[in-house]
């Protein structure tokens, strides 16, 4: 679609008269409204763990858990403002220290956690106390009471992934604080509806042939298996040492996190511009929608990546495409 050009003074006068009636001419902005290709506002962005971890430690010294409610450093896309890490996804690094409680609340937004560091921390969701281990994906379904605690030593740090950007268009997200710091909960023998361990993802990845593999997180088994939520999904990827993935491009966006290894990702934007992000253990990076990506792992060590995505949302809306 080509933009409309005003051809004469009569047209210009007509268009200038429309705002007084609170109307506008669609044909003058058609290409902006319905672009010829996906046009995300978000840019490629990356965050180095070795730079953010000291900032988290300082936050832990300066702000206690009660003051913060959630002690999080948001991953803010440089082309946008919080809560945008991509156009549809929010990411943040959360810290909880030994003996602390991140008080119980519930909210409309869906959340998942990818555990980066620490032992014996827990999330309690809807009465189930789920122990955190490095590499776990822990989900918090919409409107479930949940709190976090730490019964071990050293910091617990994880990546939060939420659908908060959606509620900038749909102003229906809100939260409620529970009457006590913790919602009553007990350890559960079956927490498979809330926690997926890294061992599950890696076993699937390592069983797949080829130098690159993708595992899509889900809940349930067989025909009843479903994405983690209606809006936010998760995936893990393996890239063998010294190898690279085939080019991939999808309408969904991603917040990637390096679980293990070193490498780089070449990103070709919808505009044709190309950017390269280098990553190692703990680093995170944002990939806008319709950006072609190619991962390359360094020699000597297999690389494993985790990613939050918005594929479930786009699939339900009939907007998911890939090349």
For the segment 277-290, the average pLDDT, to the nearest whole number, is 98
Distance CA 127, CA 220 (A): 20
Residue-wise pLDDT for 225-242, tens only, equals 999 999 999 999 999 999
In the predicted structure, residue 2 carries a pLDDT above the cut 60: no
Q: What is the pLDDT of residue 36?
A: 87
From 150, 173, 192, the end of a domain falls on 192
Task: Note the pLDDT tens digit of each residue in 19-34.
Answer: 999 999 999 999 888 8
pLDDT confidence of residue 167: 96
Across the range 275-286, mean pLDDT stands at 98
Number of folded domains that form the chain: 2
187 and 227 together in one domain: no
The rounded percent of the chain whose pLDDT value lies above 90 is 90
Strand order in the sheet with 274-280: 274-280, 262-268, 292-297
Max Cα–Cα distance, the chain, nearest Å: 75
> How many angstroms separate the CA atoms of 145 and 239, rounded?
37
For residues 146 and 223, membership in a common domain is answered with: no
Domain that holds residue 311: 198-317
Q: Which pLDDT does position 290 carry in this prediction?
A: 97
CATH number of the domain bearing residue 211: 2.60.120.10
Q: Give the global pTM.
A: 0.94
174 & 253 share domain: no
Average pLDDT of the residues in 259-286: 97
- CA 269 from chain center: how many Å? 19
In the predicted model, what is the mean pLDDT of the chain?
A: 95
């Amino acid at each position: 679609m080509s933009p409309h050009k005003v051809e004469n003074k009569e047209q210009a006068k007509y268009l200038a008269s429309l705002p007084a009636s609170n109307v506008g001419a669609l044909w003058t902005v058609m290409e902006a409204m319905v672009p010829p290709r996906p046009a995300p506002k978000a840019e490629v962005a990356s965050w180095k763990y070795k730079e953010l971890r000291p900032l988290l430690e300082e936050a832990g010294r300066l702000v206690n858990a009660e003051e913060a409610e959630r002690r999080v450093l948001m991953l803010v896309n440089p082309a946008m403002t919080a809560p945008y890490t991509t156009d549809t996804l929010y990411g943040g690094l959360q810290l909880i220290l030994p003996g602390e409680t991140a008080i119980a609340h519930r909210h409309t937004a869906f959340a998942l956690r990818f555990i980066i560091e620490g032992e014996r921390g827990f999330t309690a969701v809807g009465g189930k106390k789920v122990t955190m281990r490095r590499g776990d994906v822990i989900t918090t379904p919409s409107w479930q009471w949940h709190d976090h605690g730490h019964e071990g030593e050293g910091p617990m740090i994880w990546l939060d992934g939420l659908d908060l950007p959606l509620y900038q268009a749909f102003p229906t997200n809100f939260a409620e604080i529970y009457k006590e710091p913790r919602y009553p909960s007990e350890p559960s023998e079956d927490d498979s509806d809330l926690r997926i361990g890294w061992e599950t993802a890696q076993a699937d990845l390592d069983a797949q042939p080829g130098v690159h593999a993708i595992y899509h997180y889900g809940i349930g088994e067989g025909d009843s298996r479903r994405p983690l939520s209606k809006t936010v999904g998760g995936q893990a990827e393996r890239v063998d040492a010294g190898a690279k993935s085939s080019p991939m491009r999808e309408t969904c966006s991603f917040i990637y996190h390096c679980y293990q290894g070193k490498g780089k990702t070449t990103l070709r934007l919808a505009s044709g511009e190309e950017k390269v992000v280098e990553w190692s253990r703990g680093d995170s990076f944002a990939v806008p929608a319709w950006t072609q990506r190619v991962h390359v792992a360094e020699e000597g060590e297999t690389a494993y990546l985790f990613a939050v995505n918005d594929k479930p949302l786009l699939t339900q809306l009939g907007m998911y495409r890939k090349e």
